[in-house]
A and B are shown apart, each in its own frame.
Chain A
Amino acid sequence: QVQLVESGGGVVQPGGSLRLSCAASGFTFSSYGMHWVRQAPGKGLEWVAFIRYDGSNKYYADSVKGRFTISRDNSKNTLYLQMNSLRAEDTAVYYCAKDVGYYDILTGSTKYYFDYWGQGTLVTVSS
């Protein structure tokens, strides 16, 4: 069965750095795009970043662009999020999520949505 296990969260001071990991199993990791999504305490979900299955394409939310870097190691079945210049507003539970594609007959293209999520890891930015 698909498993996504995040790790690397913790308490960090403003301006500091942290690297999150997401260990994947139960599917062919190298064939799927992956995302990071976060949720501030008591708030809704915010998409953070995406990386294509082969790492060739990456997208970021404006709120993290230039500070966060998404990457992956397909040989280790692991997704990463390097977070630099952390701010108090980055405090959140960070989830990794797996993409899955389906054929859209209306457009003749493949569309992708989230099918599985990890359990999340808490990042607290505080002095």
Chain B
Amino acid sequence: DIQMTQSPSSLSASVGDRVTITCRASQGISNYLAWFQQKPGKAPKSLIYAASSLQSGVPSKFSGSGSGTDFTLTISSLQPEDFATYYCQQYNSYPRTFGGGTKVEIK
């Protein structure tokens, strides 16, 4: 199975900050990586697929990059509605595996 490791597991940031989250795969997955946002008590929401393609309706402040084993999610200017937990997931092979999540909290 492909293991997905996210870092950090949590971070504190202020409104307006630029935030970067890292996701590493235990083996190469090309660009078959998705990012999801989850707010407390809510279902996850799709943000990015193919490592860098924005899901329809997702604002351009979110961006993704990477290929192979190392990926990043960047939020260019953090807004109050962006405080949430973010997960990466590989869809290169089954079982589809998620990273452990990164909780973005208000400083």
A interface residues, Cβ below 8 angstroms from B? 35, 44-47, 50, 59, 61-62, 95, 102, 104, 106-107, 111-120
Known A-B contacts A45-B44, A59-B95; the reply to A114 vs B30 at CB < 8 A is no
Known A-B contacts A95-B43, A102-B50, A120-B43; the reply to A113 vs B34 at CB < 8 A is yes
The 26 sampled A-B contact pairs (Cβ below 8 Å) are A44-B87, A44-B99, A45-B36, A45-B87, A45-B101, A46-B98, A50-B96, A61-B95, A62-B95, A95-B43, A102-B50, A107-B30, A111-B32, A111-B50, A113-B32, A113-B46, A113-B50, A113-B91, A114-B36, A114-B46, A114-B89, A114-B91, A115-B46, A115-B55, A116-B46, A117-B46
Residues of B within 8 A of A120 (CB): 43
Residue of A nearest to B92 (CB): A111
Residues of A within 8 A of B46 (CB): 113-117
- Interface size for B (C-beta < 8 A) is 25
Interface residues of B in 30-45 (CB under 8 A from A): 30-32, 34, 36, 38, 42-45
Residue of A nearest to B91 (CB): A113
Q: Which of A106, A107, A114, A118 contacts B34 (CB 8 A)?
A: A114
Q: Which of B45, B55, B98 contacts A45 (CB 8 A)?
A: B98
How far is B37's CA from A23's CA once the two chains are assembled, in angstroms?
23
Residue of A nearest to B49 (CB): A113
Closest A-B pairs by Cβ, 5 of them:
A117-B43, A113-B49, A47-B96, A45-B98, A59-B94
